[in-house]
Amino acid sequence: MLDKKFWEAILELLKKYNNTPHHKDGKILGSMTTTPHPLAVYAYLMFIHTNASDPVIFKEIENMMNEIIYELAKLYRGGESGILTSGGTESNIVAILAAKKVFSNKSNTVIAPDTVHVSVDKACDIIGCKLVKIPTNGNPVDASTLEEYIRKYNPFAIVITAGTTERGLIDPVKDASELANEYNVYLHVDAAYGGLLIPFLHRHGIIREDLRFYDGVSSISVDFHKNGLTPIPSGILLFNNKRCMEKICYNAEYTLYGKYCGLLGTRPGGSVASIWVLLKHYGLDLYEKIALKTYNIATYAYHKLAELEELKVFKPILPIVVFKHKYINYIELLREILNKGYFLYKSPSLEALRIVIMPHVEKSHIDDFVNAIREIMQ
Ligand SMILES: *Cc1c(COP(=O)(O)O)cnc(C)c1O
């Protein structure tokens, strides 16, 4: 046992190191992270000893996982199987790996709009495939351009994004699914950020595009550690059918289960428990509320910033507000904003800065931020 003195000393030391910024202070306005829900944290800790890659020893985790997939299948109207991943990055790598194995007869190429997340570059680097980016000029890709690229490159996979990182754009999921069907190619929808927003905002008539397993969609990835209020790491990769899922499983004779699926070996069962408990307790309503709240605050932030004449502000699609100064370079402006204690990210393709309205962001944070911008510009 630790004696009391030593215990106190070590706690002191931990506290000393815990002067990281916290989301509740309202200064973290760029990162897609947020404060996890206390119930999710509780469940995470309760199952902290479990390994989600061992469904023999920890069959309860597998049961929870099955219930999560069942709930998500209702939301996306499809998705037979899925795995817990470390997040959008692992999901993208694993989806492309599955695609490459299913469509081994095609050219060794993935096509994606140039707004695709950097983890897809990483995936192709690891898997050894060529990534062809479709120039979009910062718009969702249009169906005819996508078709042109499919014909030209005969890819084994198309990756589109439902909620791009820099701007919150939604590529046309339905159009892409029809092309994927017609040309018999794997379609992965990266909805790491938008996955828990789009179905609800669509239902409320706020956005036109919907996100679901249209015929032709092979996989959808969604991060719960973004708008799902669970601790990091918790992503889910859903497959339209079990056959794809089997392609990313590898024999591991020495284990009781006999195989490992996905990129990781051991993976946190606590993450599964944290997603499960929120779904059990609140149902999908929780995410609907978050989608509406963050969207409303994004609209508020858009109007507040647009009042400043020196700024060009892009109308939010999802709860991401992109803005730039008409004369001052965005990197220079970012430096000033960082000096004020705020953390924003960039939208380099628009030479602009980006606020992501995560669940912890309140209107008062936006007011304070706009005041800080005013001070900088004076
Ligand atoms: C956040 C995000 C990722 C990466 O997810 P991680 O959880 O950081 O691995 C990939 N794609 C999109 C669209 C994202 O928003």
Tell me the CA–centroid distance for residue 160 and ligand 1, in Å: 13
- Given ligand 1 and candidates 164, 166, 223, which is best to mutate, with the most ligand atoms within 8 Å of its CB? 223
> Measuring from atom 4 of ligand 1, which residue has the nearest CA?
88
Residue 269's pLDDT is: 98
Residue 2's pLDDT is: 66
Q: Which ligand 1 atom sits nearest the alpha carbon of residue 223? A: 7
DSSP summary character for residue 142 = P
Q: Which ligand 1 atom sits nearest the alpha carbon of residue 193? A: 15
Residue 44's pLDDT is: 98
Q: Which ligand 1 atom sits nearest the alpha carbon of residue 164? A: 13
Tell me the CA–centroid distance for residue 25 and ligand 1, in Å: 24
Tell me the CA–centroid distance for residue 51 and ligand 1, in Å: 23
User: Cα dihedral angle (168, 173, 179, 185), rounded to 10 degrees?
Assistant: 80
Residue 277's pLDDT is: 98
pTM score, whole prediction: 0.97
Q: Which ligand 1 atom sits nearest the alpha carbon of residue 90? A: 9
Residue 3's pLDDT is: 84
Tell me the CA–centroid distance for residue 90 and ligand 1, in Å: 9
Tell me the CA–centroid distance for residue 69 and ligand 1, in Å: 20
The total of other beta-carbon atoms located within 10 Å of residue 8's CB is: 11
| Residue keyed to tokens 């008409």 | 326
Sign of dihedral through CA atoms 202, 207, 213, 219?
Answer: negative
- Given ligand 1 and candidates 89, 232, 354, which is best to mutate, with the most ligand atoms within 8 Å of its CB? 89
Q: Find the residues whose C-beta lies inside 6 A of ligand 1.
A: 32, 87-89, 117, 119, 161, 163, 165, 190, 192-193, 223, 235
Q: How far apart are CA 87 and CA 228, in angstroms?
A: 12
> Measuring from atom 12 of ligand 1, which residue has the nearest CA?
192
Asked if residue 311 lies in contact with residue 298, where contact means CB atoms within 8 angstroms, the answer is: no
Residue 19's pLDDT is: 87
Contacts 24+ apart (CB under 8 A), 64-67: 64/272, 64/273, 64/275, 64/276, 65/272, 65/276, 67/276, 67/279, 67/280
- Binned average pLDDT, 10 residues per bin, the chain of 378 residues: 85 90 95 97 98 97 98 96 97 98 96 98 98 96 98 98 97 98 98 98 97 98 98 98 94 95 97 98 97 98 97 98 97 97 96 98 98 94
Tell me the CA–centroid distance for residue 190 and ligand 1, in Å: 8
Tell me the CA–centroid distance for residue 233 and ligand 1, in Å: 11
